[in-house]
Structure 1
Amino acid sequence: MTEQDKWIRHYVTLAEQGDFHAQISVAWEYVKGGYLPYDRLKAEHYFQSAEKTSPLLARFHHGKAKILWGDSPDDIHDMQIGDGNAGYSPAYYIIASSFIATNRKDAAVKFYRLAARCGHLPSEVLLWRSEGAGFWGKLKKIPRLIQIFFQMVFIRMRDAEDHRILT
């Protein structure tokens, strides 16, 4: 048995025992089809199992996978909107990203704006990039972007799963 096989077996065992991080890792392996064969049903099983421990973060990851699978932005919206309305800004980010993936920029900007208002820093940067403020308008916001960059670095150093920086 290779080291890779041992790693996979170990993580699958942890995931079956309810370990949140293992469940998310195993789900992503099924999404990517890397160490484990691609299997959407098994990936969804592990994402849904992870919801028992950390529902917001599990649905965030599940939403990202749905974008990769090409699911409808409307389905992703329905899955995430409750979390966003409850103040979980990464849910709005996922909704916006699903609209970007289908070239619905106006809808994406709306949700990036909502996420930024809730304190989601990457959404604030993406909003800056997508709004047509013109050269001088964008230039005036560069000091804020530099501040955001450093905030994101310091937040990530403390907690990589902080909702203000999830992407």
Structure 2
Amino acid sequence: MDQVTAEERQRWIEYFIPLAEQGDPDAQLAVGIGYANGVMVEKDLMLAELWLRRAEEKKGEEATFVLIKTFSREESPKTLDIFAEKAEWELGAIYLICGRYLMRNGDVKRGRLLLKKGWEKGNIIAGISFISSGYGKPWRFFLLPVVLPLLIESVIVKAKDQADERILE
């Protein structure tokens, strides 16, 4: 990763913080990500959550996804608290993140259930993770006939959904 200069950091702060404080949801998302990653501002998960929650009010699950991903990366139990706030999520990626979090922390059965749900919501990576988690090693030989059609399907879905603003890259 490239080093950020003090001047770049200052310009970023002067640009995004005032916009975020004025209620701009894109700026709030950017500031939340900044605090989550600690690149442009000092890493602070409490401030990251604050700004991402504000962005969530207008941007919806896109901001929630970043929040859950951040807490999952930090191995925080808040990952599941945020996930439990809603009975049903639209983004399959949220199920992917929480399913992987549960599996890393020993709840394989529940983790696989969430991966399957993410797959049903259209997240191909969740589907591949669900299938592969059910096989012992060497699982790759058994999965190629299953994974290859999924990859082809994902290319088709991506082509169809390219104009959909809800799709995260």
Change in 2 beyond 3 A, CA 1:14/1:106 = same
- 2:152 corresponding residue in structure 1: 147
Q: Alpha carbon RMSD of aligned pairs, Å?
A: 2.7
| Counterpart residue number, 2:14 | 9
Equivalent of residue 132 in structure 2, options 129, 132, 141 = 129
Pairwise CA distance, 1:130: 2.1
What do the CA deviations read for 1:60-99 (whole angstroms, capped 9, x no partner)?
2111111123212xx4334224546254433322211221
Closer, same or farther: CA 16–42 of 1 in aligned 2, 3 Å: same
* Distance in 2 of aligned mates of 1:152 and 1:17: 37
Q: Does 1:105 align with 2:105?
A: no
**Which consecutive residues of structure 2, in runs of 5 or more, have no partner in the other structure?**
1-5
Matches of 2:165 and 2:57 in 1, distance apart? Answer: 20
Deviation of 1:123 after TM superposition, in Å, equals: 0.9
Distance 2:92 2:66 in 1: 13
- Higher relative contact order (Cα pairs below 8 Å, separated by 6+ residues): 1
| Contact residue 83 and residue 91 of structure 1 kept, 8 A | no
Structure-1 residue corresponding to 2:94: 91
Does the CA-based 8 Å contact 1:80-1:94 persist in structure 2? Answer: no
Q: How does 1:1-167 map to 2 (within 5 A)?
A: 2-72=7-77, 75-81=78-84, 83=86, 85-132=88-135, 134=139, 137-151=142-156, 153-154=158-159, 157-159=162-164, 161-162=166-167, 166=168
Distance 1:13 1:151, change over 3 A: farther
For residue 112 of structure 1, report the CA deviation from its aligned partner.
0.5
Q: Could you tell me how far apart the structure 2 residues matched to 1:148 and 1:18 are? A: 39
Q: Is the 8 A contact 2:33 2:48 kept in 1?
A: yes
Distance 1:52 1:146, change over 3 A: closer
Residue in 1 that maps onto 2:3: none
Q: Which runs of 5+ in 1 are unaligned?
A: none
What is the number of residues matched between the two proteins? 162
Deviation at 1:22, TM superposition (A): 1.6
Letter of the 2:96 counterpart: Y
Query: Is the contact between residue 90 and residue 121 of structure 2 (CA under 8 Å) also seen in structure 1?
Result: yes
Contact 2:72 2:98 in 1 (8 A): no
Identity value in percent: 19
CA contact (8 A) 1:56 1:83 kept: no
Q: 1:105, CA displacement in angstroms?
A: 3.1
